[in-house]
Amino acid sequence: MKGNVSEKARLLHMLDAIRLIQEFTAGLTYEQYMQDMKLRLALVKLLEIIGEAANFVTKDTQNTFTEVEWNTLYVVRNILVHEYFGINYDIIWQAIIDKIPTLKIKVESVLQQLSIDNG
């Protein structure tokens, strides 16, 4: 199944997860985030999806679009999956606030450039 998903679909999965993260956290305070365990677990899952999808973007695309930290996204996914007992929700919140908006712009740019190149 993993090999049957197109590169564009992987990037769209990343973008969908990013949009959901932004939707779920829009207007929230840190305190509201910390009080909602279901929300925190949903956000972790969405970050895992981003990392998993990033891992299956082809090496050619990764090498062409080096502004996206593909490997870091997958490393974060691995930490969230395998070190689940040690997740630091403060770091997750900061990443959502500081990194997700920029990641969205970068992934949108990659999708646009791939669409232009593939006509």
Enumerate the H helices of 1-119 as residue ranges: 7-25, 30-35, 37-55, 59-64, 70-82, 89-98, 100-118
> Which residues, in sequence order, are CB contacts of 80 under 8 Å at separation 6+?
44, 47, 48, 51, 87
Q: Of 10, 13, 19, 77, which is the active-site residue?
A: 77
What's the Cα-to-Cα distance from 44 to each of 53, 88, 90, 100, 112, rounded to whole Å?
A: 14, 11, 12, 13, 27
13 catalytic residue (yes or no) = no
Torsional class of 18: left (φ above 0), alpha (ψ -120 to 50), beta (otherwise): alpha
Q: What is the pLDDT of residues 53-77, one digit of tens each?
A: 999 999 999 999 999 999 999 999 9
pLDDT of res. 116: 77
For the chain, the farthest-separated pair of C-alpha atoms sits apart, in whole angstroms, at: 47
Give the number of other Cβ atoms within 10 Å of residue 100's Cβ. Answer: 19
Token representation of residue 59: 């090496």
For residue 1, name the pLDDT band (cuts at 50, 70, 90): very low
- Top-confidence residue, 5 or 48: 48
Q: Of 10, 19, 40, 82, which is the active-site residue?
A: 82
77 catalytic residue (yes or no) = yes
pTM: 0.91
Query: What's the whole-number mean pLDDT along residues 22-34?
Result: 98
